[in-house]
Amino acid sequence: DQQVKQNSPSLSVQEGRISILNCDYTNSMFDYFLWYKKYPAEGPTFLISISSIKDKNEDGRFTVFLNKSAKHLSLHIVPSQPGDSAVYFCAASVGSGNTPLVFGKGTRLSVIA
């Protein structure tokens, strides 16, 4: 049973426009959510996170929105740049401690110049 779902395997956006990447989860115990970005032949890099006590977190061009009632989060990138082209993974965890992160399968974002 997949607890974290990224239903769009790929997304294409024009440079300068907004990219919206979506993630749904099924485990209501998740209380911390993260987004990672991955370029080919590199390890995933941490991008932004949000705790379940918030509904929005912003860092520069990146904003994560959390809708707990819908068990849905989204990553907004504004404006999108060609260097944002990568695979984006959503991840979730249950509290701090030993519980590992659970990852979605990823969404490949292509930003077209």
Partner 1 sequence: DAGITQSPRHKVTETGTPVTLRCHQTENHRYMYWYRQDPGHGLRLIHYSYGVKDTDKGEVSDGYSVSRSKTEDFLLTLESATSSQTSVYFCAIRQGGEETQYFGPGTRLLVL
Binding residues (CB under 8 A) for partner 1: these are: 6, 32, 34, 36, 41-46, 49, 89, 91, 93, 96, 98, 100-101, 103-106
Instruction: Give the span between the Cα atoms of 34 and 64, in whole angstroms.
Output: 9
Question: Which H/E stretch holds residue 23?
Answer: strand 19-25
Q: Where are the beta strands (DSSP E) in 39-112?
A: 45-51, 56-59, 62-67, 72-77, 86-93, 102-103, 107-112
Measuring CA to CA, which residue among 12, 10, 62, 54 is closest to residue 35? 62
Measuring CA to CA, which residue among 23, 14, 19 is closest to residue 89? 23
